[in-house]
Amino acid sequence: MYGRILLLLVCLTAVSLFMEFAEQGRQLQPPREAAAPPAPPIVAEAERRPQRPDRAALPGPSRRDPVLRLSDSDPCAKSCSGTAFAIDDRGHWLTARHVVKGCGKVALQTGPRQAVRVTEIVSHPRADVALLKTGLNAPALPLTSGPLFKGQDGFHLGFPRGEPGDVYGELMGRVKVRSRRYAEPGILWAEIDRAPRNDLPLGGLSGGPVLTSEGAVVGVAIAASPRRGRVTSAAPRSLAEVLARAEVAIAEAAPQDLDEVKVAPSNYAGYGDHLRARLSVAKVLCWGEGTERRRRPPLR
C-alpha cells in the first residue's frame, strides 16, 4: 500500500519537473522576427517584351483625341477605399481625386486595423489627381514624364475591390476624359492580363501607379471598363501640375537610373506584392460622415 503511494508521489514529482523545464525552455526561445518583405522578382532581359523603341513618341494632347465621358462619382457616404503611392521620403503620396472626394477622414492602411492619418489633401482643380500629405514615409516610386508610345507596356498596381491586385496593359493612345465639371488629358490602356485572373470590377485600383517596364511612374489610374478591357490613367502632365500646386518638388528619374529591367509580363504581380509589402503602394481608407466611429481603425 505504502509502496504504491510512494511510487505515485515519485511519478507526480517527475511530471512536475518535466513541465517546469519545458516551460523554461519555451521562455528562453528567442522571439520570432517579423517576415521581411519579399524581394522583387528578377527578370532577365530575354523575358522582357520588345517595346519597339523605333516607334515615334506619342504626340501631345489634341482636340482630335477621342472623348471618354465619365459620370461624376458620388462622395463616399460611409466607407470606401482606393490606392495611393509614395513619391518621396517626406510623407507625400499621389492618388486619384475621386478616391478622397467627400471623405470626413482619410488614412493609409499600414496593417490589420492600423492606419496613418492623412493630414492634408491638395487636389488638382481640373484633373482626377490629388496629393496626400501624411506622416508615413515609405520607399518612393520614381516619376518620369515619358516619352510614351503606342504599344508600350504599362503595369497598374493597387487594391481593386480593396484586395491586392494588378493589371498588365498596352498603351492604345490619348483620350480626353470629360466629366460634368472638367475635361482632362488621359492615357488609354488595353488590358492584356490581370492578377488574380477574374472578370470582377476594378474599383479600388483608382489612385494606383502606372509603371513602365523600368519601374517608373507615368500615370495614376482613374477609371476602368472591365467589359471593354480598358484602363484610363491621368496623363504625366496632370501629375506635374498637382505637384506644382502643392509646392512639392520631386526630381524626375534620370534615364541612367532606369536602366535595369524591373517589371515585365512574367513578374508584374510579384513586383506589385513587393511594393505593397514595403508600403510604397498602400490602400487608401476613406470614411464618410455617416461612418460609425467604432468601425474606424486607430489612426496615428
Q: What is the pLDDT of residue 42?
A: 54
pLDDT, tens digit (0-9, with 9 covering 90-100), for 187-198: 999 999 999 998
Identify whether 258 is part of a domain.
Answer: yes
Instruction: Using alpha carbons only, give the angle 148, 152, 156 rounded to the nearest 5 degrees.
Output: 95
CATH of the domain at 157: 2.40.10.120
Identify whether 169 is part of a domain.
Answer: yes
Residue for grid cell 524591373: 262
Identify whether 41 is part of a domain.
Answer: no
Domain residues for the domain of 121 are 64-295
Q: Give the chain's domain count.
A: 1
Mean predicted lDDT score pLDDT of the chain: 81
Residues of the chain with pLDDT under 70: 1-55, 72-75, 77-78, 255-257, 259, 289-300
Q: What is the pTM of this model?
A: 0.80
Identify whether 219 is part of a domain.
Answer: yes
92-95/130-134 β-pairing: antiparallel
Identify whether 134 is part of a domain.
Answer: yes
Handedness of CA 56, 66, 174, 224 (dihedral sign): negative
Identify whether 19 is part of a domain.
Answer: no
Identify whether 189 is part of a domain.
Answer: yes
Identify whether 260 is part of a domain.
Answer: yes
